[in-house]
Structure 1
Amino acid sequence: MSEETKALAAKLFNDVWALMDKEGRSEEENYLMVHMVHASLYHWIQVGTPHNIYVGEWQVSRVYALLGNFDSCLYHGKRALHLCEVNGFGGFDLAYAYEALARAYLVKGNKSECTKYLELALREAEKVENKEDKEILTKDLDELQNKIMIQFMN
């Protein structure tokens, strides 16, 4: 049962990712994406490691950022950060927890909190040694930084 549950959690995670990347998602796809991301997290909670659960929380936060839902985005971003803190996840993982919170505050329009968490993410990103991880993280943080600059230009 646990191998089936892990496989389902991973499939849901990947299916959510595909919807996150999809241009012009419909309202129905957004609706499904929310339920799929929660289902993925639920299954990871049942059979996954603390790291799996952290990644699930991060993905839930990211989905809510895409949909402009500040409260849920912030809630799950804080849960992701908490999991990093209690499990000693640093570098790549901690940078993405900060990135989730920066995105939450971007949704809210709170420039000071948004830039605070972006700066923490950038600082943590400097510690990432794996080249591929660093490239992915740098790309995401650059994209986030551009969104922040556009939103808060005035």
Structure 2
Amino acid sequence: MDGMDDDFLSIGRFSRLTGISIGALRHYDELDLLRPAEVDRFTGYRRYGRGQVDIGRAIARLRDLEVPLDEIREVLAADDPVLQRRRVADHRARIEARINRLQRVLHVLGQLSAGREPIVSDHQPTTVTPELDAAAHRRLGVELFNYVWTLIEKADRSAVEIDTMIHAAHASRHHWSLAGTNANLGRGEWQVARVYSVLGRAEPARWHAARCLAYTEAAIAASEADDWDLAAAYEGLARAEAVAGDAAAAERWRALATDALASITDPADREVIAGDLATIPG
């Protein structure tokens, strides 16, 4: 009977029913996450109750979704389904942030491998002086842009980090205004709009998203834009309208962004914008 009776299951049988390895079951026992219903005090033989199978399967499913063990414990301990869903939603937000970061890593690698950005900059680190040359402004624009992304992707930002995120995004945009093209300005406005969207501040998000589109259209007219700039501009407007609660406007911009994806030749670039569209609320 594979070591089971009417009330208990052997550890091997329980392992097969739940999809949790025997080693993991022993580990969960030590962590007090999933204790056996009965342990023989002489042999140490573990047996599990039939009613524990659903709990075991839930743990296996959450581990497959990369939920940390401490959070699984909190999910299982929460009697309120709303609290359980909130924990899962928090984990989903962290996964989305990780995906966005990896998509942007792929984008930068694509830019480097295609020769559109230098792998090694030709500048030497210097003390910033009141009068910066164009290369220094461009460097600061890039560095601040990248720094803002680390804050955008952070799950739990402090009040100081929120202020820093806002000011750094505007500072990046400022440096591009001194040494960039219309395409650079559009991307700077896009990031400022994203910051305000993340913070739920609809009006500045809308304003900067509209400026992003205006600069992007000017860049396209001047043959300065990359093939993903227009889709990104539409995405920024869709997100801002979603934050503002205008579902119809958000859907219009989302549809334009989706259509514009077809013009993006690099799959990695296309995936970045598609990933952003997938995270728009509503």
Say yes or no: TM over 0.5: yes
**Amino acid across the alignment from 1:121:** A
8 A contact 2:235–2:273 mirrored in 1: no
**Which residue of 126, 131, 141 corresponds with 2:262?**
126
2:190 counterpart residue number: 58
For residues 230 and 136 of structure 2, what CA distance do their matches in structure 1 show?
Answer: 29
2:228 counterpart residue number: 92
Tell me, what secondary structure is at the counterpart of 2:157?
Answer: coil
RMSD: 1.3
Q: Quick one: percent identity of the two aligned structures?
A: 36
**Which residue of 149, 171, 196 corresponds with 1:17?**
149
Alignment gaps of 5+ in structure 1? 149-154
Alignment gaps of 5+ in structure 2? 1-132
2:177 counterpart residue number: 45
Whose Rg is larger? 2
Residue-pair matches, total: 146
- Residue 143 of structure 1 and its aligned partner are, at CA, apart by 2.3
For residues 227 and 180 of structure 2, what CA distance do their matches in structure 1 show?
Answer: 21
Deviations for 1:94-150, whole angstroms, at most 9, x for unmatched residues? 111111111111111111101111011001112211111111112221222xx22xx
8 A contact 1:84–1:90 mirrored in 2: no
8 A contact 2:181–2:219 mirrored in 1: no
TM-score between the two structures when normalised by the length of structure 1: 0.90
8 A contact 1:9–1:41 mirrored in 2: yes
Q: Which structure ranks higher in relative contact order (CA pairs < 8 Å, sequence separation ≥ 6)?
A: 1
TM-score between the two structures when normalised by the length of structure 2: 0.50
The ranges of structure 1 where at least 4 consecutive aligned residues each deviate by more than 6 angstroms after the TM superposition are none
Question: Which has the larger helix fraction?
Answer: 1
Is 1:107–2:243 an aligned residue pair? Answer: yes
For residues 277 and 177 of structure 2, what CA distance do their matches in structure 1 show?
Answer: 28
